[in-house]
Amino acid sequence: MHLFKWHGQLILLNFLMFMSWRPCRGLNVPNYGPDNRGNPARRTASFAGRREPVFYDEEYQPLAARTPSQDVRRAKLAAISNPDFYFPPDPEADLAEANIPVPVVTQQKPRQAAPGAGAFSYNPKDKNGPPNWYRIDERCGGRYQSPILLNTSSAQLVSRKRPLRLDGQTNLPDSIRLQNDGHSAKFTHSWRIGADRPVLRGGPLKTKYLFEQLHFHWGSNSSVGSEHVYDYQRYPMEIHLVFYNGLYDSFQEAREQVDGIAVMGLFYEIYEHSVDEPLNTWTRFLRNVIEPNSEFTIPFIDTFPLYEVIGDVEWPYFSYEGSLTTPPCLETVTWIVATKPLLVTEKEMRQFRRLQSPNGQMSNNFRPVQKLNHRRVFLY
Ligand SMILES: *[C@@H]1O[C@H](CO)[C@@H](O)[C@H](O)[C@H]1NC(C)=O
Ligand SMILES: *[C@@H]1O[C@H](CO)[C@@H](O)[C@H](O)[C@H]1NC(C)=O
Ligand SMILES: [Zn+2]
């Protein structure tokens, strides 16, 4: 079925390219060059001991045996073996593949939570707090949960690596739905045509992963907030960019699959030098969703591309197999956590801390770190 569908699209693609369709694409997309960035200070943020990116031609080889979920995943991928989805050997085919229109996934209504599923809290003393999440969904008690402690010294260094690519970072969405879902502030982009949807590939990922939404975890003050702890440090905030495997038709379908989800996590650190200079202008929309379970649609004229939020994807980053960090805690996530933090001002952090959850101020919405349980953590 998939095979047939994709071949059909290839024929269509050839036709469209023949009709000189490609040069007309993206006329409305502004050019975000290095001098036209949303966050100028990000360019100057330095990372001590940072490695320069290195490109290798060889296929990525795991350094040693990986966790069982990896073997299951590989067997599954081999069984599907849809050649249209794998990285083609020549750049031209790669380019053509990148331009195959991805089916537009219609926006789902806010998920009707199963009884109790939406009722989790972050208060450890609460009956629905993190230690009791396994009662809300037993999968939260699994062995491969997230977040975890990430240590440079104990990570497996990956030397033969494929570049990680985020295509379509500068594409502008049609509109963006901003939701206060009671646990976080979530931005879901709608794409004019399927091909505009950003795609993450390479690095630890075997196939293409399509962008779904982004959201945040933050603290009531700037000494806490991030979910992952990097070299024993918690950052004031962590952004999660959620992608789903293009082998599946939707995020809802993919998240149940062993190779269904990839989440890219980046930390924020406080930019001390200027209190008034806005770095993340998109935080101004948060005031529209102060109340729990409220939402606001950012119209096209005010939309912003992913690039304005996260800038360039850079080495080094950690990768490991883990889970969603909220119930149902599905263990279907390939995590990619960047070590270089983004910048945010205290003023912008206050925009986040003004949001309300059903139990009062929405903050400290991060899950405690989970046991590693013999998983390997890779440093790319
Ligand atoms: C990081 O170090 C802590 C303490 O030594 C350890 O418990 C944890 O498993 C380590 N994390 C990783 C990813 O190796
Ligand atoms: C920051 O928040 C954490 C968690 O609520 C708290 O334990 C800590 O005391 C706070 N620190 C300051 C300086 O207020
Ligand atoms: Zn998250």
Element (H, E) at 318: strand 317-322
Residue 342 is predicted with a pLDDT of 96
Among 125, 220, 361, the mutation site with the greatest number of ligand 2 atoms within 8 A of its Cβ is: 220
Among 122, 123, 224, 235, the mutation site with the greatest number of ligand 2 atoms within 8 A of its Cβ is: 224
Q: What gap in Å lies between CA 218 and CA 357, rounded to an integer?
A: 13
Residue 100 tokens read as: 């195959």
Q: What gap in Å lies between CA 219 and CA 366, rounded to an integer?
A: 8
Return the ligand number nearest the Cα of 320.
1
Secondary structure letter of residue 282 according to DSSP: G
Q: What gap in Å lies between CA 222 and CA 352, rounded to an integer?
A: 12
Among 217, 222, 223, 353, the mutation site with the greatest number of ligand 2 atoms within 8 A of its Cβ is: 223
Which atom, in ligand 1's list, is nearest to the CA of 375?
A: 13
Closest residue by Cα to atom 1, ligand 2, is 221
Residues of the chain with pLDDT under 70: 1-118, 274-276
Q: What gap in Å lies between CA 350 and CA 17, rounded to an integer?
A: 48
C-beta 152 within 6 A of ligand 1: no
Tell me the CA–centroid distance for residue 91 and ligand 3, in Å: 34
Q: What gap in Å lies between CA 190 and CA 199, rounded to an integer?
A: 14
Q: pTM of this prediction?
A: 0.73
C-beta 220 within 6 A of ligand 2: yes
Return the ligand number nearest the Cα of 365.
3
Tell me the CA–centroid distance for residue 186 and ligand 2, in Å: 25
Closest residue by Cα to atom 5, ligand 2, is 220
Exactly one of 2, 7, 183, 215 is catalytic; which is it? 183
Nearest to 187 by CA among 195, 179, 196: 179
- Ligand 3 ion: Cβ-proximal residues, 5 Å cutoff: 240
Taking the alpha carbons at both ends of the chain, their separation in whole angstroms is 35
Tell me the CA–centroid distance for residue 217 and ligand 3, in Å: 6
Residue pointed to by tokens 């379509």:
168
Q: What gap in Å lies between CA 66 and CA 78, rounded to an integer?
A: 17
Residue 2 is predicted with a pLDDT of 54
H-type helices in the chain, by residue range?
2-18, 68-80, 91-98, 133-136, 251-254, 306-310, 346-353
What is the SS3 assignment for 241? strand
Q: Mind listing the pLDDT tens digit for each residue in 67-108?
A: 334 344 334 434 333 333 333 333 343 444 444 444 444 444
Contact 150, 267 (CB under 8 A): no
Cβ within 8 Å of residue 72, ≥6 positions away: 258
Q: How many CB atoms lie within 10 A of CB 103?
A: 14
Ramachandran angles phi, psi of 161, nearest 5°: -125, 150
Secondary structure letter of residue 273 according to DSSP: S
Element (H, E) at 245: strand 237-245
**DSSP assignment string, 33-71:** -TTS-S-GGGGG---TTPPPP----SPP--SS---HHHH
Is 183 a known active-site residue?
yes
**DSSP assignment string, 269-326:** EE--S-SSS-S-GGGGGGGGG-STTEEEEEPGGG---HHHHH-S--S-EEEEEE--SS
Tell me the CA–centroid distance for residue 242 and ligand 3, in Å: 8
Give the strand pairing for 333-338 and 261-270: parallel
Element (H, E) at 180: strand 175-180
Q: What gap in Å lies between CA 43 and CA 312, rounded to an integer?
A: 9
Contact 219, 366 (CB under 8 A): yes
Residue 192 is predicted with a pLDDT of 86
